[in-house]
A and B are shown apart, each in its own frame.
Chain A
Amino acid sequence: MSAQSLNISALHLGETEQKILHVAVRLLQEDEFACQLLGDSDCTGHIVVLDMDSDAAAETLQKLRSSQIKILLADEQRSDRNLVSLAKPVHVETLRFVLGKVCKQLMLHLQKTYDEIVQPAEFSQPTEIASEVNDAEDDYEEEESSLLLVMLEARDQKKCVKIEEEGMPTIYIDGNKSTIASEMDYEHVLEVGLHNNEHHLHKSEFGEKDVDTAADDISLSSLDNFLWELTLKSSENILPDDIDLDTPIKLKAWPNFTRHGFHPDNFKIAALLARQPNSQRNLIEATGLGEEVISRFINSCYAVGLIEVQNDENPVEVPEKRQISEERSGLFRRLAMKLGIA
């Protein structure tokens, strides 16, 4: 293996966290990060992702080399050398973001080592890479940011963050109160998120009181609502790695549809998934909606943690429509038309 390929160990992770890690690593690989997941209980990775809720985790943590970068999934935040804590439940985008940052720093370190000794180096003695990562976090004002990733990170880590760009009103994100605020209206902030590549956004942390003060004079929106809509609109016609057309999925809760993101098709899908777990293929058949509509819905639910993959091996059946009379069905249709929502 070349010195530039990074190994990631996954230790004591539950099934869901394993899947999240798999998706995050796959997305990083698609972004051309040279990284790979090691097999079960292989703890030799340059980066180790460890679930601290496991009984054996504390003991495992003690046995890891100090030079390994540890990403701990834990309810309590910890800080130490070469250690990054992520609050649970962790989401794909958060893990992808943090792994990406760590990988980037490690790559720089490896390249530096390579340049110095003019041959591929074994990454056996990395030095305080997490500190570099943390330093990089401190210097993050100098780096460009994705609005979606910053929002997910702020929400998951309950941080207060502001996003700035020259000539653009600041966007304040309060991960504690799950709000965003800006002098820009909601639609403009959404446009920024949707056309991220046209912007040069800079992120920095911010005091909660400052967010309150700033929010006095500017419009305030729900962060979750915004995340839902941004994900829905920016989602591509692909499903998460661990979901295929026939994977049964379950809705954990009714999605937090906003008045901005209201779309009648999503109500149909949500209503069906609320009744019973089902697959994308069956949902397409039951609703008559296009695959892209269903996958956008699933992706958005997945991004905000509302989809649970069912491990039942029994194939799920196409959900039957409720037995309602034609007369009542006509009544509903007329009511929807009357209210302008048909």
Chain B
Amino acid sequence: MNMVNDKIIFTGPVGAGKTTAISSISDTPPVSTDVACSGEERAIKDTTTVAMDYSYIELDNGRRIHLYGTPGQQRFDFMWDVLTNNGLGLVLLINNNNPDPVGQMEFYLDAFADFIRKTGVVIGITQVGISDNATLADYQSKLMERQQIYPLFEIDGRSKQDVRIMIHALLAVLST
């Protein structure tokens, strides 16, 4: 058993609320790392540092579910494959206040398509109702157009209940 693989990946653009969402359900405050790469990432060690969020949930038997937040900046997209390797599933967060948030959702669904196919995804839209940007129906229409029936929620990343519901939907997708 490789317990490091017990990980759920949180992804999405900068400001989508990944750190907040992770901290709302994790046992410890997330560590926002800014470290040099090692191991598989050694190839990029000298050229950049990697920023990501990390925390965990400890289960009653002592086993840990690791929660990783991918770097939001697309220039770090080379990290995505490494982070998702053998992961349990994906939580995609989109900030509805960003320009073209529906397009951003499509971008991340395409970028993580292989991982999603092997595991599952749940989508959380933050900051809904703050601006006249897309509605939840717009995201749903786009998913229908793409013939993808993925769990989609309007969430407040600060709400433990909202994030728990998303994780529950992900577990339902993964186990049924």
Task: Give me the interface of A with B, judged by CB distance under 8 Å.
Answer: 178, 220, 222, 224, 251-254, 256-257, 259, 262, 264, 267-268, 270-275, 286-287, 319, 321-322, 324, 327, 329, 331-332, 334-341
Contacts and interface: CB of A to CB of B under 8 A. Distances in A.
Nearest to A335: B65
Contact of A331 (B6, B135, B153, B168): B6
B140 A324 contact: no
B172 interface: yes
Interface of B: 1, 6, 25, 57-61, 63, 65, 129, 135-137, 140, 143-144, 149-154, 159, 161-162, 164-165, 167-169, 171-176
A324 B171 CA distance: 12
Contacts of B161: 259
A336 B171 contact: yes
Contact of B162 (A259, A336, A337): A259
A222 B59 contact: no
A336 B176 contact: no
A275 B176 CA distance: 9
A224 B168 CA distance: 21
The 10 closest A-B pairs by CB, nearest first: A267-B172, A274-B149, A271-B176, A271-B172, A334-B59, A341-B168, A339-B164, A271-B173, A254-B151, A253-B140
Contact of B140 (A256, A327, A331, A335): A256
Contacts of A338: 57-60
Nearest to A340: B164
Given A178-B135, A287-B176, A322-B175, 5 more contacts: A252-B149, A259-B161, A268-B172, A339-B25, A340-B164
A224 B59 contact: no
B63 A331 contact: yes
A339 B154 contact: no
Contacts of A267: 151, 168-169, 172
Contact of B165 (A259, A324, A331, A334): A259
B174 A324 contact: yes
B153 A334 contact: no
A259 B137 CA distance: 17
A254 B150 contact: yes
Nearest to B152: A254
B151 A332 contact: no
B144 A341 contact: no
Interface centre among A264, A271, A321, A332 (most CB of B within 10 A): A271
Contacts of B172: 264, 267-268, 270-271
Interface centre among A254, A273, A286 (most CB of B within 10 A): A254
Contacts of A332: 171, 174-175
A339 B176 contact: no
